[in-house]
Structure formats: C-alpha cells, structure tokens
Amino acid sequence: QVQLVESGGGLVQPGGSLRLSCAASGSIFSINVMGWYRQAPGKQRTLVAHIIRGGRTYYADSVKGRFTISRDNAKNTVYLQMNSLKLEDTAVYYCNTVPPTYAYWGQGTQVTVSS
C-alpha cells in the first residue's frame, strides 16, 4: 500500500518559482508512472506532467519549458519544479499514478500565483 502526501505549495508572484514534493509512505518502486495533476476552482482536474520509472517525462503544453518533474525512488518522492509561474498556474496540485488510482487522491497542495 502506498500513501501520497503533497507539500511545497504557497503564494508566489508571477515569474516566481516553487518546488512541490510528493512523499510516499511506501515504496514507489512498483509504480511505473507518477504524475502531477492540478485543479483550479470551477475547472476539471488535468494532468500537468508525468514521469516513467525509467525517467522519460511528459508535460502538458501549458507548462512545457517551465516545469520539471523528477522522481527519487530511494527517497520515495516525486518532485515538481515550477518556474516562471503565471496567474493561470493557480490551482490545487495533486500527485498520483498515471492513470490515477482513486484511493491515492489526497488533499493536494495549494499554489497561488498573484501580483
């Protein structure tokens, strides 16, 4: 059983940076693909980025070139480095498997980009 806890969100000005962490209570060795999702008020939850166990990554067009996903299997942690943040990046960010596992959804971490 794997439990995921997101952290690292906060308030940042446009153009700023944040680093999100997704800590797993158990090993993520058996999980092939981990991803970051986000959901803004009144909008659907969408996939922002994912990383395969072997290291290959995917990014949504809206964040490509600005966000970087990485995983550290030894630390059982997935990261999302967010640079050049924009107002439209404001959302609650969640980590989960790709495709998502229902039982793994947590509370997420709030990212607010505001001037």
Q: What is the rounded average pLDDT of the residues 5-32?
A: 93
- What pLDDT score was predicted for residue 12? 98
* Residue that has been written with the tokens 């439990």 in this structure: 3
Q: 53-57, 81-85, 97-101 — which is least confidently predicted?
A: 53-57
Q: Which residues contact 102 (CB under 8 A, 6 or more apart)?
A: none
Q: Which amino acid is it at 44?
A: Q
Q: What is the rounded average pLDDT of the residues 19-40?
A: 91
* Residue that has been written with the tokens 């797993």 in this structure: 24
Helix (H, G, I), strand (E, B) or coil at 88: helix
* Residue that has been written with the tokens 């680093």 in this structure: 19
The predicted-structure confidence for 40-57, as pLDDT tens digits, reads as follows 999 999 999 999 988 999
- What pLDDT score was predicted for residue 14? 98
Contact 67, 83 (CB under 8 A): yes
